[in-house]
């Protein structure tokens, strides 16, 4: 049984995520925080007939109370992407939000496992890491960028062209980062195995990489992926809860490769090089990252995609680190 805080609970992702985690029987305490509207969200979900308690924490002066005694912190706070915007366009606003929340986590629940949703994840996770380092409480095993939506999309999009495939049972590792060309689905590693033509591989890879654009364009200015992201975040949180309870669970996530240096040797050899952060299949445990799961041999197409992703990721990671250095945390 665990306590979970959602920072940004009144937003487009936060509200459905609050609903899904209130339905989770393993959550005993659900702490909801936001700058606006969170009392209504908390009151609403508190009427759901599950056993978890629900707390409402409004505005910055109550952030510490929202985090006290928390086991898992999920951060969907920030502004959504709109048509014409890239994840980098969100950086200047969301970077400051994540920095402030990471500082509060360092002060009030430094041992919590942290899952960052706020985009651009390729930069916001390094920001959170630098904040925690500066406060002397950084544990690379306990900080995650939640990239589960890329995995969910990969399974669903394969089903779209292979109707005989069970999307819920299909597992496709997605490595690299969480935006555009940094997202690298390893379709050759699909379990159960699926046969693809090269044309299908190229088209699927592009759709998985830029699937978020489909939602942004379809919502026509009303936001980005919120419902599917909430589902993916709830799935990742459930995996963390199962791992805390002693199960071995594998989920891809954007993590520090320092969390398991030996396990990281495999992904570095496949193209991650000297990068500090990379999305990899992670075997979760009670402490967060138990180990980085090995990735078997990949195709030349996938290797090239990882090389492209790594070049872009280095820029994204450096941008996050540079932000914290300029902020003089």
Q: Which pLDDT tens digit goes with each residue over 139-170?
A: 999 999 999 999 999 999 999 999 999 999 99
* Lookup: tokens for 38: 């969170």
Residue 223 confidence class, pLDDT cut points 50, 70, 90? confident
Residue 116 confidence class, pLDDT cut points 50, 70, 90? very high
Q: How far apart are CA 102 and CA 76, in angstroms?
A: 13
Nearest Cα residue to 14 out of 52, 44, 48, 51: 44
The class (CATH top level) of 2-145 is alpha beta
Q: Which pLDDT tens digit goes with each residue over 279-323?
A: 999 999 999 999 999 998 899 999 999 999 999 999 999 999 999
Residue 103 confidence class, pLDDT cut points 50, 70, 90? very high
- The per-residue pLDDT for 74 is 99
- The per-residue pLDDT for 328 is 66
User: 124 pLDDT exceeds 80?
Assistant: yes
206 catalytic? Reply is no
CB atoms within 10 A of CB 53: 11
CATH 3.40.50.720 residue ranges of the chain are: 2-145
Q: Which is the catalytic residue, given 47, 108, 178, 206?
A: 178
CATH 3.90.110.10 residue ranges of the chain are: 148-324
- The per-residue pLDDT for 297 is 86
User: 127 pLDDT exceeds 90?
Assistant: yes
Q: What is the mean pLDDT of the chain?
A: 95
- Give percent of the chain above pLDDT 90: 91
Q: Which pLDDT tens digit goes with each residue over 33-43?
A: 999 999 999 99
What is 148-324's CATH topology?
L-2-Hydroxyisocaproate Dehydrogenase; Chain A, domain 2 (3.90.110)
User: 87 pLDDT exceeds 70?
Assistant: no
- Give percent of the chain above pLDDT 70: 98
* pTM of structure: 0.96
């Amino acid at each position: 049984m665990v306590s979970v805080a959602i920072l940004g609970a009144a937003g487009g992702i936060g509200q459905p995520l609050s609903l899904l985690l209130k339905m989770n029987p393993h959550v005993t305490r659900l702490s909801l925080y936001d700058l606006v509207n969170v009392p209504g969200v908390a009151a609403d979900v508190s009427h759901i007939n599950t056993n978890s308690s629900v707390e409402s924490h409004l505005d910055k002066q109550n952030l510490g109370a929202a985090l006290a005694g928390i086991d898992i912190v999920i951060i969907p706070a920030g502004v959504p992407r709109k048509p014409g915007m890239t994840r980098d366009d969100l950086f200047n606003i969301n970077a400051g939000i994540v920095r402030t929340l990471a500082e509060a986590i360092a002060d009030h629940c430094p041992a919590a496992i942290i899952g960052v949703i706020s985009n651009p994840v390729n930069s916001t996770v390094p920001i959170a890491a630098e904040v925690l380092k500066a406060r002397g409480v950084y544990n690379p095993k306990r900080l995650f960028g939640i990239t589960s939506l890329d995995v969910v999309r990969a399974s669903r999009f394969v089903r779209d062209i292979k109707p005989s495939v069970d999307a819920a049972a299909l597992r496709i590792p997605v490595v690299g980062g969480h935006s555009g060309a940094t997202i690298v689905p390893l379709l050759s590693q699909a379990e159960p195995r699926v046969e693809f033509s090269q044309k299908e591989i190229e088209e699927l890879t592009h759709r998985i990489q830029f699937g978020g654009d489909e939602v942004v364009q379809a919502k026509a200015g009303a936001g980005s992926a919120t419902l599917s992201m909430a589902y993916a975040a709830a799935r990742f949180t459930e995996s963390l809860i199962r791992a805390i309870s002693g199960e071995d669970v594998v989920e891809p996530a954007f993590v520090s490769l320092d969390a398991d240096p030996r396990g990281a040797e495999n992904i570095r050899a496949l193209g991650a090089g000297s990068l500090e952060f990379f999305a990899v299949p992670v075997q979760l445990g009670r402490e967060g990252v138990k180990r980085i799961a090995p990735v078997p041999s990949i195709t030349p197409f996938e290797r090239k995609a990882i090389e492209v992703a790594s070049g872009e990721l280095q820029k994204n990671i450096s941008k996050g680190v540079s932000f914290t250095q300029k902020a003089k945390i």
